Structure 1
Amino acid sequence: MAIFGKKDKPKPDFSGVQSGSSSTAPAQPAAAPAGTAGTGSGAGTSARSYTVVSGDSLSKIAQREYGDAGKWRVIYEANRAQIKNPDLIHPGQVFTIPPVS
């Protein structure tokens, strides 16, 4: 009898699976993108929080949250108290992501 540690789990055997087969396993929800604390798209009715990660910009956050990079100003206006320069945001900052009207 073999004893497996966390890193030594046996790998599943897919040798009997035919090409083109589909899974009957229930779909798993996608993990939230790095940096997000809220869920769903920006079309909701309540504001959410977003934690800035390295490489973010207001336009990238707007694209991810609203599907439109041009809506960066909505995020900027909602967070003006902590954003002195909209071209310079820092990892760890937590922004309010307001719903888009």
Structure 2
Amino acid sequence: MSTEKKADFSGVSSNVDSTAQQVPKADFSGVSGSVDSTADVVGGTYTVEKGDSLSRIAKQHYGDANAWQKIFDANKDVLKDPDKIQPGQVLKLPPK
């Protein structure tokens, strides 16, 4: 038998404090989201060029020459006759 004393660690306690800051968890319960695609929205304006017609503009911007009526309806404040558009005139293009 050995007569050496063994270390007594019975009264030792430990505590580890992290050096990293405690960051509260983000609360996303009130967050909502949506995605608006511009793929189907034309809108904006168009400046009439020589040789243009409402049906040509509609075909170019909407892919449908028959959509000329939408352009005409959106521009009744400046157009009285859909066949009388002038180069340089700025027309509103409604959304598709």
TM-score for the superposition, normalised by structure 2: 0.57
* Structure whose alpha-carbon radius of gyration is higher: 2
- Aligned counterpart, 1:51: 47
Deviation at 1:47, TM superposition (A): 2.2
TM-score for the superposition, normalised by structure 1: 0.55
Identity %: 47
Deviation at 1:80, TM superposition (A): 0.5
SS of alignment partner, residue 84 of structure 2: coil
Deviation at 1:74, TM superposition (A): 0.3
> Aligned residues, how many?
59
SS of alignment partner, residue 50 of structure 1: strand
Unaligned runs of 5+ in 1: 1-39
Partners of 2:53 and 2:73 lie apart in 1 by 14
Matched, 1:80 2:69: no
SS of alignment partner, residue 74 of structure 1: helix
Partners of 1:51 and 1:86 lie apart in 2 by 15
CA RMSD of aligned residues (A): 1.7
